Amino acid sequence: MAEFILRHMCCEAGVEADFEIASAAVSTEEIGNDIYPPAKRVLTAHGIPFSHRAARQITKADFDTYDYIICADRSNIRIMEYRFDSSVLEHSHAQVSMMMEWAGQSRDVSDPWYTGDFETAYQDIHDSCKAILQTLTE
């Protein structure tokens, strides 16, 4: 959801050409899959446009390609630390952070996989994306 929420916010602010926004999984379980149907329903309910996409896994190259790698939860960072040499994260071009930190909170994004509550996840992501855009366009 975050990719499409942030992309939509950038379009509304007229700064879409200034950003390259992408998402990637840390695990392989969803590789090739489209957006989960309940997430599509929440995006639609909030007027957020989205397109078909095939999930991909994060690569070492992403740490040199992107300025920011923003994680929804602490397990994302732990998995990346396990998967990649610790120097990849420590010495990468990208700044690795937690999504909710951008919104001034030190917690994970509410996980809809366990709760089924995609609306709360949407609100967490929306608030964080709003803060990300505000910070990066100041």
The residue among 2, 9, 1 whose CA lies nearest residue 133 is 9
Model pLDDT for residues 12-49, shown as the tens digit of each residue = 999 999 999 999 999 998 899 999 999 999 999 999 99
Phi, psi of 27 (to 5 degrees): -105, 180
For 29, the 3-state DSSP assignment is: coil
Model pLDDT for residues 93-102, shown as the tens digit of each residue = 899 999 999 9
Could you state, in order of their start, the residue ranges of all structural domains in the chain? 2-137
pTM value?
0.93
What CATH class is the domain 2-137? alpha beta
